[in-house]
């Protein structure tokens, strides 16, 4: 059986999604062959007045502790750099990506997760107050110890990704081999900021896919692939970033593909992502087992080439 190209987003686990439901979702994911679990040290700091994260990592840690043997069946990916520290407004007050911040953030993640290594460690967002070499070296030291398996960059400008990789290569260090950005079937209006984020650099663009396609060792993971449920739910309006004529054409193509195949729009979106060139790994943020089942069905669906061509042609 082909490996399921789907990551389980744990952002709401332990905060908006209670521990019992989080465990049910995690159990179902693993039972159905899922392996990739995505979290961050700062999830979900915005849900409490103290602006403290760690809920998600703690729930995953509790689940790993109560399921002997499951650690060997999953790959844990977590992020650092965005946890608020001290006073002031986020994102100005975040921990950032200095060498000491990277070291201390990883120690905290390992403690909360109750594990001795993270399979994939992401920088959550850029920190231009720190020389790039310092961050790249700090990450490489972790990757060259047994603490971190692999390195990824989230919400990082493509030129900074490329520069980081070249710094690592020139020094013989381990560099980034994964990108995590916002991506779905609908395309944002050029120049639109990423919804709920204070930046414009977090989107997958045609240039991202061109770069990932050319660099054979790079993977791309897509966050918010289901647009928080907006493809299928009236209570989830589309973000203003999608307010342009191309959206009408894409939604029509999506509806036709879903009707032709007798599947849901969410399933077509996930199949379109996983079966693309290059393939993309969607990170779904489900809050029930039923939502997870739909996501797993979609990620495993193979679109007929003519339908994929119709979906691609709608711009
Ligand atoms: N790197 C970054 O900066 C970044 C940013 C954001 C997210 N992420 C990662 O990406 C993951 C997913 O992000 P996300 O939660 O924003 O994206 P999402 O998967 O597009 O949206 C999740 C929400 O959509 C609704 N939903 C999910 N499946 C559904 C279905 N089958 N039918 C109807 N509604 C459905 C649910 O809402 P209800 O719960 O209300 O039902 C769910 O909470 C996160 O957990 C995190 O790991 C990373």
Residue-wise pLDDT tens digits, 49-73: 999 999 999 999 999 999 999 999 9
Q: Which residues line ligand 1 (CB under 6 A)?
A: 9-11, 38, 154-155, 180, 223-229, 232-233, 266, 283-287, 291, 294-295
Does 199 fall in a domain? yes
Residue-wise pLDDT tens digits, 139-198: 999 999 999 999 999 999 999 999 999 999 999 999 999 999 999 999 999 999 999 887
39 alpha carbon – ligand 1 mean position (Å)? 12
Phi (first) and psi of residue 174, to 5 degrees: -75, 135
Does 2 fall in a domain? no
Does 83 fall in a domain? yes
Q: Kindly report the protein residue whose alpha carbon is nearest to atom 39 of ligand 1.
A: 287
Residue-wise pLDDT tens digits, 200-256: 889 999 999 999 999 989 999 999 999 999 999 999 999 999 999 999 999 999 999
What CATH number did the domain enclosing 288 receive? 3.20.20.100
pLDDT at 282 over 80: yes
Does 295 fall in a domain? yes
Looking at the chain, the whole-number percentage of residues with pLDDT higher than 90 is 94
Shortest-distance atom of ligand 1 to CA 227: 20
Does 81 fall in a domain? yes
5 alpha carbon – ligand 1 mean position (Å)? 16
Does 38 fall in a domain? yes
Give the pairing type, strands 36-38 and 148-154.
Answer: unpaired
Q: Residue 20, CB half-sphere, CA atoms under 13 Å: how many?
A: 0
H or E stretch including 153? strand 148-154
Write down the residue that tokens 């994939």 correspond to.
120
The DSSP secondary-structure symbol of 14 reads T
Does 74 fall in a domain? yes
Does 312 fall in a domain? no
pLDDT score recorded for residue 178: 98
Q: Kindly report the protein residue whose alpha carbon is nearest to atom 4 of ligand 1.
A: 223
pLDDT at 1 over 70: no
Q: Kindly report the protein residue whose alpha carbon is nearest to atom 48 of ligand 1.
A: 223
Counting the structural domains of the chain, the total is: 1
Q: Kindly report the protein residue whose alpha carbon is nearest to atom 30 of ligand 1.
A: 291
Domain range holding 230? 7-244+263-303
């Amino acid at each position: 059986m082909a490996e399921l190209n789907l990551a389980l987003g744990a952002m709401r686990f332990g905060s908006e999604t209670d521990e019992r439901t989080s465990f049910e979702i995690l159990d179902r994911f693993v039972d159905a062959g899922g392996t990739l679990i995505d979290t961050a040290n700062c999830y979900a700091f915005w849900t409490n007045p103290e602006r403290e994260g760690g809920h998600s990592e703690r729930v995953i840690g509790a689940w790993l502790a109560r399921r002997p043997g499951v650690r060997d069946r999953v790959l844990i990916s977590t992020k650092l750099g965005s946890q608020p520290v001290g006073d002031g407004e986020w994102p100005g007050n975040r921990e950032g990506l200095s060498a000491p911040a990277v070291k201390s953030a990883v120690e905290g993640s390992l403690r909360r997760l109750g594990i001795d290594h993270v399979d994939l460690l992401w920088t959550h967002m850029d920190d231009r107050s720190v020389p790039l070499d310092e961050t790249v070296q700090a990450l490489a030291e972790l990757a060259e110890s047994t603490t971190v398996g692999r390195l990824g960059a989230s919400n990082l400008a493509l030129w900074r990704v490329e520069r980081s990789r070249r710094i690592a290569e020139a020094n013989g260090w381990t560099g980034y081999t994964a990108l995590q950005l916002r991506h779905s079937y609908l395309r944002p209006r050029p120049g639109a900021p990423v919804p709920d984020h204070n930046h414009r650099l977090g989107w997958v663009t045609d240039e991202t896919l061109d770069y990932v396609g050319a660099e054979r060792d790079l993977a791309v993971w897509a966050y918010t692939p289901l647009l928080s449920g907006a493809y299928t739910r009236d209570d989830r309006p589309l973000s203003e970033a999608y307010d342009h004529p191309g959206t009408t054409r894409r939604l029509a193509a999506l509806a036709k593909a879903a009707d032709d195949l007798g599947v849901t729009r969410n399933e077509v979106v996930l199949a379109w992502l996983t079966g693309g060139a290059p393939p993309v790994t969607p990170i779904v943020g489900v809050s029930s087992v039923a939502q997870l089942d739909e996501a797993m069905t979609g990620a495993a669906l193979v679109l007929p080439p003519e339908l994929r061509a119709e979906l691609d042609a709608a711009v």
